[in-house]
Amino acid sequence: MDKRGTMGTLEGPGLEKPLFTLEEPWKSNKRRISCIPAGTYKCKPHAWGADKAKFHFQEVWEVTNVPDRKAILMHAGNTLADTEGCILVGLEAGIFRVNHSRPAINKLRQIIGNKEFTLTIQEMPNAKR
């Protein structure tokens, strides 16, 4: 972790190579300004149904059961200005940014679809808070 932001990777079945992730820096798990603490979370489909047009982010996943937090999505975006406490994914990583985010989300849509999955967030052993 870095006080400028939190970079990571996303691995799972169906991914030939890891995707890159970007979150806010660690700020004591505060809503909309902090990354998610290490742990295991259930991710549920968000805005996949007939009423999806009423949501800004469609056909993405909500990270649930994060202590004292809600409405955390895994969605497209490139920089910390796009995240507000959510997880951004991309095919490539830059300096505190992810690139080719829409293709990364589309890849996850093909692999996961409208299904729940388990997300495990691990803190790197040498990460500093």
Q: Report yes or no on 126 lying in a domain.
A: no
Specify if 100 maps to a domain. Answer: yes
List beta partners, residue 92.
99
Total domains in the fold of the chain: 1
Residue 129 in any domain: the answer is: no
Instruction: Report yes or no: 36 and 29 within 8 Å, Cβ to Cβ.
Output: yes
Domain membership flag for residue 52:
yes
How many other CB atoms are found less than 10 A from the CB of residue 19? 24
| Tokens encoding 107 | 């890849």
The dihedral over CA atoms of 71, 102, 17, 44, expressed in degrees to the nearest 10, equals 30
Q: Structure pTM?
A: 0.91
- Per the domain annotation, does 49 fall within a domain? yes
Residue 1 lies in a domain: no
**Three-class SS of residue 85?**
coil
Residue 40: give the domain boundaries: 6-121
Residue 85 maps to a domain: yes
Q: What is the pLDDT along the chain (129 residues), one digit of tens a residue?
A: 578 899 999 999 999 999 999 999 999 999 999 999 999 999 999 999 878 888 888 999 999 999 999 999 999 999 999 999 999 999 999 999 999 999 999 999 999 999 999 999 998 765 555
